Amino acid sequence: MAKQLSREEQLELMRRDWDRRAQENARYYVDTSRKDWTDDTFFASGQQAINEDILTDMGNICQGKDPKSMRIIEIGCGAGRLTQALSKVFGEIHAVDVSGEMVAQAKAALGDRPGVHIYQNNGCDLRVLPELDYDFAYSAIVFQHIPSREIIETYVREVNRLLKPGALFKFQVQGYLATDSTPDDTWHGVSFSEQQAREMAERCNFEMRYSYGAGVQYFWLWFFKKPASAL
């Protein structure tokens, strides 16, 4: 039978395991397609992902705003691979990661870029971020590693708390349903079906307007924050 862990134990485990991975080879654990990343290849892979996930979707993301005027959230920034490319598009980025080691590497790579703010958080909420209004939130290749639907849902509620009404939270979860992990597995996280994702959106005051990739690893969700009157 799977070992039961408290939320505090799971958060501590995520922090420890990701610190260890970051010390061993952060860039490999961020993107396991190679072990010998250089600065150039690592950040080019982030640029490629942002070209595909963000630059093709600016209508939903910006909703007519100038991206340079937008303040955005990134959850699970790792060593800053995507953060760097995001900072070329948006005016202000607030990025969190549970691992202090990852945060140190992201700060070393990007800390002096104007508008980039990187924080270590507790692995489940966004209380470290300034209480401001945010225009967009994004997370890729992070929730697929979290071994708890409750923790992921806490993040979704937190994003809802901070986003402006109508704004988008675009994020990826594990959609391959056979891969559910045990509570102490911080590499293989929990998976979501289309129905589970839709129910989570409803519980957290989002409209799940689109999804892509149900049943596969890269299951993308477009959650738009409902206006206050829909509460």
Ligand X SMILES: C[S@@+](CC[C@H](N)C(=O)[O-])C[C@H]1O[C@@H](n2cnc3c(N)ncnc32)[C@H](O)[C@@H]1O
- Write out the residues near ligand X by the rule CB under 6 A: 14, 18, 30, 75-78, 81-82, 96-99, 102, 123, 140-142, 145-146
Shortest Å, Cβ 77 to ligand X: 6
- Smallest separation (angstroms) from ligand X to the CB of 58: 20
- Pick 8 or 227: Cβ nearer ligand X: 8
Contact, 167 vs 134, CB < 8 A?
yes
Residue 96, beta-bridge partner list: 75, 119
Q: How far apart are CA 101 and CA 165, in angstroms?
A: 34
- Shortest Å distance, C-beta 14 to ligand X: 5
**For residues 118 and 141, which CB has a smaller minimum distance to ligand X in the complex?**
141
State how far the alpha carbon of 27 is from the alpha carbons of 45, 82, 132, in Å. 11, 12, 31
Between 67 and 76, name the residue whose CB sits nearer to ligand X: 76
CA distances from 39 to 44, 119, 143, 225 (A): 8, 22, 25, 36
**Least CB distance from residue 230 to ligand X, whole Å?**
28
Q: Cβ 102 to ligand X, closest distance in Å?
A: 4
For ligand X, the closer of residues 20 and 166 by Cβ is 20
Cα 81 to Cα 35, 74, 185: the distances in Å are 15, 11, 24
- State which residue, 53 or 135, has the beta carbon closest to ligand X: 53
CA angle 226, 139, 107 (to 5 degrees): 125
